[in-house]
């Protein structure tokens, strides 16, 4: 694994995280490949996201609908919208196969809406599809450290 690939992948992860914190959702949607999958599983050890229950299992349609929900002004749980700041670190290139780079990272996210700051920690796995000079996001799996414990309601995208 080259340092350059680590830098390129990390730059992509940071860009993606920055877009989500700034709620630049339409730019975020454009980061994805059409067959991309965004998943937040209930069981942090889950590998079969289709035959198990997740908090989110979003294909392209559901990602678009989720963004509409978060920005459409019809949802009382995102009015006002939460503010988030996330740190993405401990980035590791896990491997590359057939033009898909698998990356793992740590994500610490702080959120404020109206009742104080809440924090979450997650191990996030990305599959980045090489596309021209950059990447398209093909899979993002957010494994919350407390995924199988009670959650509070979520008005943002991890």
Please give the residue ranges that form the binding site for other proteins (CB under 8 A): 40, 42-43, 50-57, 62, 65-66, 68-69, 72, 74-78, 115, 148-155
Nearer Cβ to other proteins (39/137)? 39
How many whole angstroms separate alpha carbon 54 and alpha carbon 79? 24
| Smallest gap from residue 116 Cβ to other proteins (A) | 11
| Smallest gap from residue 133 Cβ to other proteins (A) | 33
Closest to 31 measured CA to CA, from 15, 43, 47, 42 = 15
Tokens of 17: 């995280």
Nearer Cβ to other proteins (40/128)? 40
How many whole angstroms separate alpha carbon 109 and alpha carbon 90? 14
Nearer Cβ to other proteins (65/85)? 65
Q: How, if at all, do strands 117-131 and 83-97 pair? A: unpaired
Nearer Cβ to other proteins (54/91)? 54
| Residue 146 per-residue DSSP state | T
| Smallest gap from residue 157 Cβ to other proteins (A) | 9
């Amino acid at each position: 694994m080259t340092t350059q690939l680590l830098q390129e992948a990390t730059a992509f992860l940071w860009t993606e995280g920055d877009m989500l914190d700034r709620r630049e959702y339409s730019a975020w949607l454009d980061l994805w490949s059409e067959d991309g999958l965004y998943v937040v599983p209930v069981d942090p050890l889950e590998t079969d996201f289709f035959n198990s229950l997740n908090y989110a299992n979003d294909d392209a349609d559901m990602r678009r609908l989720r963004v509409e929900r978060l920005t459409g002004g019809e949802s009382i749980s995102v009015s006002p919208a939460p503010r988030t700041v996330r740190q993405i670190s401990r980035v590791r290139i896990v491997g590359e196969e057939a033009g898909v780079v698998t990356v793992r990272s740590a994500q610490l996210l702080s959120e404020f809406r109206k009742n104080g700051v809440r924090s979450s920690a997650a191990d996030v796995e990305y599959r980045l599809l090489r596309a021209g000079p950059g990447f398209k996001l093909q899979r993002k799996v957010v494994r919350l450290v407390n995924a199988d414990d009670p959650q509070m309601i979520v008005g943002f995208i991890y």
